[in-house]
Structure 1
Amino acid sequence: MRQFIASTASRLLQMLHTIEWLGPLTVRVVFGYFWLETGIAKVQNLEGFTMRFMGWGIPYPAFSAGLSAWTELLGGLLLMLGLFTRLVCVPMLINMAVAVTLVVSSNLMGLDDYVEADEVVYSLIFFWLLIAGPGKASLDTLLARMLGIRTAA
């Protein structure tokens, strides 16, 4: 019985290893689409988004709102494609740091509130993508292969 369980577990792990590329791909495509969609909405209503920035007291609200909206739109698109994934996570993390610092933190009272804040969860996903990379099924990996750059994937 023990050998059967070990053999079954080994086969299951081998099968999961063959599809490990699916995890990063799914996260990138779904998460990237979310940011592409929110970025498009903000770009299409930049005046309203700028007014929100003014209400939050964010410096240079028109410039900051435009930069934030376009960062989300282009960042989401690039994440979906898996192109410049690690690089694009940097401005996305900055966007989230600004959101947490200047907007969200005034409503957070303790550690539980921070852990449950959407922007903190988004930041963790960006951080994971920054460290782990886009995975095998990405334009980054394809470009690296074409350029002869060795990657861990």
Structure 2
Amino acid sequence: MRSFLAARASRLLDLLHSVRWLGPLVLRLVFGYFWLETGIAKVHNLDGFTQRFVGWGIPFPEFSAALSAWTELLGGLLILLGLFTRLVCIPMIINMIVAVTLVVSSNLMGLDDYVEADEVVYSLIFFWLLIAGPGKASLDTLLARWLGIRAAA
């Protein structure tokens, strides 16, 4: 019985290993689409988004709101495509740091609140993409192969 379970577990692990490219792809597609969609909504309603920045007391609200909205739109598109993924995660993380620091933190009372804040979770996903990269099924990987650069699997 033990060898039967070990054989089944080994087959399952082999199967999961063979489709390990699927995890980063699905994450990138869903997460990138989320940011693309929110960025489009903010760009299309830039006046309203700017007024939120005014209410939050963010300096240079017109510039800051436009920068944030376009960062989300273009960042989401590039993450979705898996193009310049690591590079684009840097401004996305900065966007989340600004959101946490200037907007969200006033409502957070302790560590539990920070851990449960969406912006912190988003920052961690961006950090993971920055470190791990977009995965095999990405334009970054195709571009690296075309340029003869060894890309991480």
1:104 maps onto 2:125 in alignment: no
Q: CA deviation at 1:152?
A: 2.2
CA distance in 2, matches of 1:53, 1:17: 45
Partner of 1:130: 130
Letter in 2 for 1:125: I
| Alignment RMSD | 0.5
Say if 2:29 is the partner of 1:29. Answer: yes
Match of 1:61?
A: 61
Matched, 1:46 2:46: yes
Counterpart residue type for residue 104 of structure 2: V
What is the total number of aligned residue pairs between the two structures? Answer: 153
Say which SS state the counterpart of residue 128 (structure 2) adopts. Answer: helix
Alpha-carbon distance in structure 1 between the residues aligned to 2:120 and 2:38: 17
Segments of 4+ moved more than 3 angstroms: none
TM-score normalized by the length of structure 1? 0.99
Unaligned 5+ runs, structure 2? none
CA distance in 2, matches of 1:83, 1:124: 19
Give the equivalent residue in structure 2 for 1:139.
139
Query: Shift in Å at residue 93 of structure 1?
Result: 0.1
TM-score normalised to structure 2 length? 0.99
Could you tell me how far apart the structure 2 residues matched to 1:23 and 1:97 are?
Answer: 26
1:39-91 CA-to-partner distances (Å, cap 9, x unmatched) read 00000000110010011010100000000000000000000000000000000
Distance (whole Å) between structure 2 residues aligned to residue 149 and residue 17 of structure 1: 24
Aligned residue for 1:80, secondary structure, equals helix
Q: Distance in 2 between matches of 1:2 and 1:150?
A: 41
